[in-house]
Amino acid sequence: MFRPILHLGLHFMVPGMVSRLLFSDRWKTAWMVMMSAMIIDLDHLLTNPIYDPNRCGINFHPLHSLPAIAVYALLAAVPKTRLLGFGLAIHIIVDGLDCLWMNII
């Protein structure tokens, strides 16, 4: 019960902390752009059940696959798309941490 709440909270808190630390002059805009990366969770709609607390999304959902992650890294390297790339990378990292935690417990 606690893990899904923590997981969702991290999806909001980590981009907020990164925004405040790295983009303090425009942190609100940076946070909103990074939060727009949550759109990649639309690929959960392609699965049944849509949400399974015991499933690792990395390499299961199309927008959470290794080729997609490579694109997110490229987006983070380009100044004009950096915020979106950071948001997508943070999203994948948080999902990856959840997979690790799921396998430890």
Q: What is the pLDDT along the chain (105 residues), one digit of tens a residue?
A: 688 889 899 999 999 999 999 999 999 999 999 999 999 999 999 999 988 888 999 999 999 999 999 999 999 999 999 999 999 999 999 999 999 988 875
Q: Would you state the pLDDT for residue 97?
A: 94
What pLDDT score was predicted for residue 105?
Answer: 59
pLDDT score, position 82: 97
pLDDT of residue 12: 95
Please state the three-class secondary structure of the chain as a single string: CHHHHHHHHHHHHHHHHHHHHHCHHHHHHHHHHHHHHHHHHHHHHHCCCCCCCCCCCCCCCHHHCHHHHHHHHHHHHCHHHHHHHHHHHHHHHHHHHHHHHHHHC
d(CA 50, CA 18): 29
